[in-house]
Amino acid sequence: MGLDDALLALTLLAIEPGLKGVLIAGAPGTGKSTLARAARALWPAGTPFVEAPLGVTMDRLIGGIDVERTLEAGRPVAAPGLLAAAHGGVLYVDEINLLAPELANVLCHTLASGQVRLEREGISQTSPAEFVLIGTFNPAEGPVAPALLDRAAFITPVTTLRDVPTRAFIAANAIGRPRGSPLPMPPDVINMVEVGREVLPQVRMPANALKELCAAATALQALSNRAEVFAVRCAKANAALNARAPITQSDIDLAVRLVLSPRATHRMEIVKAGADQSPSETPSPREQSEGRSADAPKKRERGEGSQSRDQADVKPMAESGEPAPLGLLREPIKAEGGTAGGKRGQGLNTRRGRHIRSLPGRPGQGQLALVDTLKAAALNRRATIGEKGRVIVRREDVRIKQFRQRTGLLVVFAVDASGSMALNRINMAKAAAISLLQSAYVHRDKIALISFRRDRAEIILSPGGGVAKARRALEGLPTGGRTPLSAALVEVMNMAGEKACHLQVAGTVLVLITDARTNQPLRPAPQGGDRRAVAREEVERLAKQLGPRLAGAVMIDTRRIFVAGGSGQELAGWLGARYFYLPTVSAAQITTTVQGEVAKIR
């Protein structure tokens, strides 16, 4: 695949700003940053292309006080930030996954509202900030904030380019071009984008095509309703890219692949009579401009990857008719990598960590915030110019830096309340869970409690709830029914992602109490199929996906009879968890063991 999907996504974004953004994921050296900077050529000359540096501060992002002009004027004078500077153009953020949570939140809000509001240090100012976002990141260094993933239409992975001609082209240009200058974008791709902008207003979305995209979003279990909106815009932009007004099936397929699939909790396949083209065969814009060889051994169907302007070869979607049938594949989406949240918590101090704000203080109390001290002097009108142009600052103007360090963990207890547990060790499991909850609360960790039975998992204690509430919930916990272990893992995965990011914890620790006899899958088993086998396959795939996202995990097997290498030990292996067999140890021993596991993470 190389850079093909990323380049195609960038061309569609340049045609339709409503797609909001492209996030390009890849290992170091795969060309993602080079491609992102080269994309500047896809927008008309003079369009703002603003790059946010690594380690950007809140003042630099949203704006702040212009110290020099403020000192000269004797009153607060605002300096615009990068968000306002990107208005009408592009904001490029390299290593976007390393943005501080507060910066990511501001970026998300600005993308949604189209304006940035500055309310600080005596200034109240609103500036327009309508821009599109290009972000690059290495998944191995940590995940992107879920809110950012939701607000950009495209999340595209890139891999090392394998073909010799492309490698030779990049090497030749890398050697010949001046340091810092972007890689040239092929002129034919730029021309296609310019034509696409003119064609886009003429493109219309047929009703049945809209229904098909919504059906695909439902089948893929996309978590946000922005998914289908972005998919519609993507299909229309792709039609415009190929200089045609009618929407074709190829546009729908591309939107499903580029927009909906990365947001899916399950994969799907689209079954169409006579369709034999794999979505992965979609050519890039570069291939579109070069056309296809007439004597190719396998002639691909012309569609999203074709630059052909011959409307006779294009079959527009009919205004009536049923959407193509949809079906789920066997496996959930695999994680792109990533690591646990980190091994330190976040506490406020004046010594080390991430600089988040400046506070009034005195020299020697902490690190001096020089710029904020000068701002305070100017705002308080206490700054005077002494000999040789020196600024005189009084003691009450001094500001020191406040830092944030990570503190605390999110500890998620997932308790099996199915019928098999009720017959075995449910009471002992409850006692162990309460003991662990008390221990975690003492260490000021965030606590969450999930129970699962019948066909669903339920959050009975949200993160941060007290021990008394958890005790009541556990003591009154209903039992019985099947074991929907897949549903429990999905809930834990959601907590380890968005919830953990929102709570700003160091990482997520899972304590799973179950007999691992999963027999209730998320999706119905095929006719004549084995429901238990389907459920086991789901659990295996979800557990292997969840494991890398956890800072630690403990699996407590409550099965009545111990079986070496049984389902409990299998599950622990998939999760990368420490395994314990409950009937052979006491609740106090389990508490001590879990405390030891958590201590390794702090």
Tell me which residue has tokens 């401009």: 289
Please give the Cα distance from 200 to 425 (Å, whole number). 63
- Specify the higher pLDDT residue, 572 or 296: 572
Angle between helix axes 207-219 and 226-241 (nearest 10 degrees) is 130
As a whole number, mean pLDDT of residues 243-261 equals 92
What are 391-428's pLDDT values in tens digits? 677 777 888 887 765 567 888 888 888 887 755 556 66
Mean pLDDT of the chain: 76
**Which is the catalytic residue, given 151, 226, 244, 482?**
226
**Residue given tokens 């609740």 in the structure block:** 587
The reported pLDDT for the residue numbered 476 is 74
* Active site annotation includes 226: yes
pLDDT at 405: 58
Looking from the CA of 105 toward its CB, the CA atoms found within 13 Å total: 9
Contact call for residues 82 and 60 (beta carbons, < 8 A): yes
Domain range summary for the chain, segments of one domain joined by +: 4-159+184-199, 203-277+316-338, 347-406, 410-601
Q: Kindly state the percentage of the chain with pLDDT values over 70.
A: 68
CATH number of 203-277+316-338: 1.10.8
Burial group, residue 105, by CB count within 10 angstroms (0-12, 13-18, 19+): middle
User: In this structure, how many other beta carbons lie within 10 angstroms of the beta carbon of residue 138?
Assistant: 17
Cα-to-chain-centroid distance, residue 413:
24
Q: What is the DSSP letter of 97?
A: G
Fold agreement (4-159+184-199, 410-601): yes
SS3 579: strand
Average pLDDT over residues 460-487: 78
- State the Cα–Cα distance between residues 455 and 515, nearest whole angstrom: 16
Residue 300 pLDDT grade (very low, low, confident, very high; cuts 50, 70, 90): very low
Residue-wise pLDDT for 334-349, tens only, equals 333 333 333 334 456 6
Locate tokens 């238990």: which residue? 532
Pairing label, strands 115-120, 552-557: unpaired
Higher pLDDT, 186 or 588: 186
Q: What does the angle CA 69 – CA 75 – CA 76 come to, to the nearest 5 degrees? A: 70
Mean pLDDT, residues 76-104 taken together: 90
pLDDT, tens only, 113-140: 999 988 766 677 889 999 999 999 988 6
User: For residues 559 and 458, what is the distance between their CA atoms, to the nearest angstrom?
Assistant: 22
CATH code of domain 410-601: 3.40.50.410
Q: Look at the chain and count its residues.
A: 602
Q: Are strands 391-392 and 49-52 parallel, antiparallel or unpaired?
A: unpaired
pLDDT digits (tens, 9 = 90+) for 208-232: 999 999 999 888 888 788 999 999 9
Q: How many CA atoms lie within 13 A of 252 on its CB side?
A: 28
pLDDT beyond 50 at 233: yes
When computed from its CA atoms, the radius of gyration of the chain, rounded to whole angstroms, is: 28
pLDDT tens-place string over residues 20-47? 999 999 888 787 888 899 899 999 999 9
- List the one residue out of 170, 132, 116, 131 whose CA is nearest residue 23: 132
**Yes or no: domain 4-159+184-199 corresponds to CATH 3.40.50.300:** yes
The Cα–Cα gap between 322 and 311 comes to 24
Residue 31 confidence (pLDDT): 79
Between strands 346-349 and 399-406, the pairing is antiparallel
